Structure 1
């Protein structure tokens, strides 16, 4: 007890003789800071700022990373220096320099020497100093809050309160802090025990970040009473953009650099009403949304920048050098959404543009609320300035100018693994003068899932661990195993505005957007972990995790189908359906009634696999994929025979899951031979399905084997091209699949000219839709109308 009292007195005396110090470039008595132990955040003047390392407690003292503490107390980054030779940190203030040396208990204020009870440390190549000594040297008051494990720092009599329990994401805060965060990410990537292998940012659009339909298709508000098909979506009420849309009277089609608006119904009067031509506008339309008021065209474009990138700040010499490397102007990729008023289809009027820095990830539309996501890569190199460190956006509701997003507005995902900005923007279409709600995050997005209430962004944390023999210390062959994880970030959606609500993490990687689902406030996610080419404990395994509203794991089902990987997943109500594959297709039925205890109810093993699962009704699932044959191969580790599966033609199946413990392949249909393909296997939006009309249709590129079914090598032969177009089926539970007919846009001359293979012709059928009693097939060249009853041709509209 006496020792404790003496220590407090000694500290008090030390403060008395230290002169009044004012950090350079800051006003004293204005700063409040809170450092949370073991958390990569601190709160400075009310703003939660991200750190690249966490404070910790040792020997009864809190150690804080040196630069963060200095900045929090008003000392600029330029006035904090590190001498590697002497291991000394110097804080340059207006009154005197404060110096601390790693391993030494001495603190110097100018030439005045003070003795500390603990010494600065180096941990993981970062310098940590005792928070109390520097703070009190600058005449700040310091207090420890045991309940929240936080150090509270502020002017005398003006300490901050304890940190809130549920603070929002921390912000980047400053350019220097951004560099620190990226440098730490680079350090993590070179660690020999846990190595990050970064996937390229902005791959979400390439990965079919799937959103698929519920048992019924998404219903949007119609401008008339027509019965017409909608885009096949994942969640009813949450629309997804596509290359073809209809409102029941008109068809909207993205074709190259143009968007075509055509009168479609009645089919006998088909004609092009208007064309939006972007050929000379540096804009490439990708997909769109349509409702009874608005057309939203989304595409990739770029912004010209006059200043060369990467130098910050620049002098005249560096400007001249950079201008030789980057002759102005140079381009920055952007994604743009252009909103049109389509009240008059013959004279559509542009009402707004929303443009985000980066590449397109995805979008969603819920009623009048529209959400757009972009990834913007950050090119960071150690000891160099960052190229264009601030992202930007443009919203014509606020003017034509581009707006740089300040570091104080850029938030940081916890444990982010990509040098990347994710930019998420929301608008309400019925409030055209209201500014967009733009949110920027240091991190990345690959796949997204959206319910009516929440948006979930998933990104893979690519990592692996080095394996080592415990006895010899040698590396086995191969000497590593992946430790990949999927990070999930949750945002509440509110009429065009977003707010971050939770973050979580599960082992493994996801396949696409259908690997995720929300039901009764629980989030379900299916992943594959391990490597499919391994054997033993590190082989691939498949898992289902159930997370609560805070994205904490409530229940899990792991180690499903070892040695295989997920090919498709679908969640429907309180059930999940999963297809894995290596040589046969296990179709699993998973019970999710009790979130804390998911379990497999039944499984079915059959040849082939399903790339996409679509609900027919609550007890029947349609699978679309490939058929396979299993062949034995001599060889392997033991010189025996290995069984391998080779895909052949396309396959459809109806699975009956009425008896969940005994799923049955009720019907199946095979299309073509090896090489037969359909966009449906990669993009759910290519499917037309109506249970009420017993209608199923999708595009097919048909390949057929002519002659022997097996080549001399023993492997299944590739077919030759024979057809491209729409396959139209009747579907019901009494008869299964009945081919109603096929519709092609290729002429007889096209088929005669075709060789063994076909290409991505503008005559390839991409989508099939219906309006009332007419079936429409669409390619880049034609819109064809056929009777829905007997597929008799009604008319053809050429798109010129």
Structure 2
């Protein structure tokens, strides 16, 4: 399970580890070029000898073990902040409309106008779904189904891939194009003498004929997929290519150049020369960071690829800027003398952890490097970052949870200016705890930390040079995700918890720890920023209850105008002898599975959370285990119909009554 219980002495570095994923040929003269940009300020690697020199800094100064990266005051100004908060709510709803005016829901987004790839997408008439079900020997697929009208549900086409060659991960859909992003593994490329390894692919299909989509383009980048974004017609994706610097330095292995491929203008992979690879002085990472941009509205333009000696784990994007963040570890010199075989998080505890942020501008597929910043501590996820009115804001946790050696964890917010230099900071929040969720909304930020109880902090960012905490609310449990509702209310989705006593410590001091229970929904009222309060609360099930929305915001369907909140859930409940009170060293009991499907709520500021109904794809009347094929992954609406999507089925229910109107088996 993701969280069993929190012990005060648990090391921050271990917790952080949980967060550590018809070709058209053209002449070779049209090979993709490294994006022209204002990177003159960044030096280039130049040649293999200089690369070796740079990598030698990794041994002496490097901030980490050998690693491969995979993954308010009295209120807000009425004009600016209201607009920003409405944008945050609109981003989450991401509503679109067909030409006929039928509204449908899109992916739950962080930023309005910045699309995020997902495993399920719709254009209001068709549903696109990635299936990686291999239990029955099925190959990976993208299934395209007609869903509107609901009376004529049918699969119209399947894009099937060889499981040994390509695994689709997520996709984008617009009125003309389907973009599928996935991974493959390339063997030794004798043409360029490069070793094989993981490759990130972007496949572009023409959707003019949904019954027979045609592949237009294929772009491949050498390395592991980090993430992507789509702004208008432009798609950008980020990959990491790990450099085995130990073998290069100790075994004199020839350095490998990163490579890429664009079917528009290439017949084979093209290596990126060292003269085209930039690096960040003072912070050398044994990794190539590659960013590709492509404008789907201009299919005759080659992909723009930029390559850096660097890496990334999380990304945040506004409509004009891309930020790539990566933790940077600094070790005591004594720890760096150990051989790689004995390196681990215990024997090589970092003396300091910071987060480095690379800023890039982009426009219609063009990418430009704009600066680099660094802040103490490390982030939780993409929601720890935000851009607003020219400033970049970031929330971090620094130190170790429960540390007694002077390195106790604290939680912080930093603001950086357009040049990525620190403008302001707020440090020292919730000592001994770590961040569980963050949401930036205009001139405010909301932060949830946790160790024993759930403090919700309201942070004023009106003056970016002087962030300040305005108020906090301490309640049992925690929120893994914060969903904007309106400018004065937000929804917390997480787990309920209960405290239990531990045996007394060596000095006789009584200690406690927190055990998680069932799922928890909370409506927070922040009208009075100095005294936020929990307006409504809803608990679901007992210990063991779980939902993908706790880890992935894209699994949530929220629409304020429809008073609609829905998400997939697996419910566990305790019965009979399982229902015991928590006592010394006795954790609450896990329940038994009683439901697998989706919960659909009405939500408003008068009644709070009202369970409207439950939808399941499970056929058995009684079940003892989760059924993967029946696991609802996404929920969406088109017009007055609600659709639930699992690997084995699409089901449609009336949005108002939840009466079933039809189902489509996908097997």
1:324-723 matches, cutoff 5 A: 331-380=196-245, 381=247, 382-386=249-253, 389-465=256-332, 482-535=351-404, 537-707=406-576, 708-710=578-580, 714-723=586-595
Question: Residue 467 of structure 1 contacts residue 480 of structure 1 at CA under 8 Å; is this kept in 2?
Answer: no
Is this contact kept in 2: 1:252–1:259, CA < 8 A? Answer: yes
Q: 1:258·1:279 contact (CA, 8 Å) conserved in 2? A: no
Q: TM-score, normalised by structure 1?
A: 0.71
CA contact (8 A) 2:39 2:369 kept: no
Determine if contact 2:321/2:362 at 8 Å carries over to the other structure. Answer: yes
Correspondence for 1:795:
662
**Per-residue deviation at 1:706?**
1.4
Structure 2 partner of 1:748: 620
Task: Tell me what 1:254 maps to.
Answer: 130
TM-superposed CA distance for 1:430, in Å, is: 0.8
Residues in 1 aligned to 2:180 and 2:386: alpha-carbon distance in whole angstroms: 27
TM-score w.r.t. length of structure 2: 0.85
Residue 714 of structure 1 deviates from its aligned partner by 2.4
- What SS does structure 1 have at the residue aligned with 2:662? strand
Q: Secondary structure at the match of 1:762?
A: helix
Alpha carbons of structure 1 residues 351 and 533: separation in structure 2 relative to 1, 3 Å: same
Measured in 2, the distance between the counterparts of 1:418 and 1:535 equals: 31
Distance in 2, Cα, partners of 1:560 & 1:504: 22
CA separation in 2, counterparts of 1:775 and 1:235?
24
Q: Is 1:172 equivalent to 2:37 in the alignment?
A: no
Paired with 1:721 and 1:456, the residues of 2 have a C-alpha distance of 41
Q: Output the CA distance in 2 between the equivalents of 1:166 and 1:357.
A: 22
Equivalent position of 1:181 in the other structure? 54
For residues 262 and 347 of structure 2, what CA distance do their matches in structure 1 show? 51
Question: 2:639 matched to 1:772?
Answer: yes
Match of 1:233 among 85, 100, 109: 109
Deviation at 1:454, TM superposition (A): 0.2
Count of equivalent residues: 592
Gaps of 5+ in 1: 1-164, 190-194, 204-211, 312-329, 469-476
CA distance in 2, matches of 1:221, 1:643: 52
Among residues 118, 124, 127, which one is paired with 1:242 in the alignment? Answer: 118
1:417, distance to aligned residue in structure 2 (A): 4.7
Distance in 2 (CA, whole Å) between partners of 1:351 and 1:637 is 68
- Greater shift after overlay, 639-648 or 686-695? 639-648
State how far apart, in whole Å, the 2-side matches of 1:699 and 1:668 are: 18
User: Could you report, residue by residue, the CA deviation over 1:90-111 in whole angstroms, capped at 9, with x for unpaired residues?
Assistant: xxxxxxxxxxxxxxxxxxxxxx
- Give the distance between the partners of 1:213 and 1:675, measured in 2 at CA: 35
Q: CA deviation at 1:646?
A: 0.8
Mapped pair 1:285 → 2:285: no
The structure whose RCO (Cα within 8 Å, separation 6+) is larger is 2
CA drift at 1:367 = 0.4
Q: Which residue among 84, 88, 112 is the counterpart of 1:214?
A: 88
Alpha-carbon contact 1:310-1:386 (below 8 Å) kept? no
Deviates more, 1:762-771 or 1:406-415: 406-415
The 5 A counterparts of 1:138-217 are 167-189=40-62, 196-203=64-71, 214-216=88-90, 217=93
What secondary structure, in the 3-state scheme, does the structure 2 residue paired with 1:177 have?
Answer: helix
1:66 aligned partner: none
Distance 1:480 1:362 in 2: 28
Instruction: Quote how far apart the aligned CAs of 1:306 are.
Output: 4.6
How far did 1:632 drift? 1.5
1:273 is aligned to 156
How far, CA to CA, are the matches of 1:709 and 1:532 in structure 2? 31
Alignment CA distance shift 1:332-1:275 (3 Å)? same
How far apart are residue 305 of structure 1 and its match?
2.0
Q: Is this contact kept in 2: 1:201–1:418, CA < 8 A? A: no
Deviation at 1:639, TM superposition (A): 2.3
Q: Aligned to 1:748, what secondary structure does the other structure show? A: coil
| Matched residue, 2:598 | 726
The 1:174–1:272 alpha-carbon spacing in structure 2 relative to 1, beyond 3 Å, is same
Question: For 2:155, what is the secondary structure of its paired residue?
Answer: strand
| Offset of residue 644 of structure 1 | 1.3
**Take 2:281 and 2:445, find their aligned partners in 1: how far apart are those partners?**
29
Change (3 A) 1:273 1:308: closer
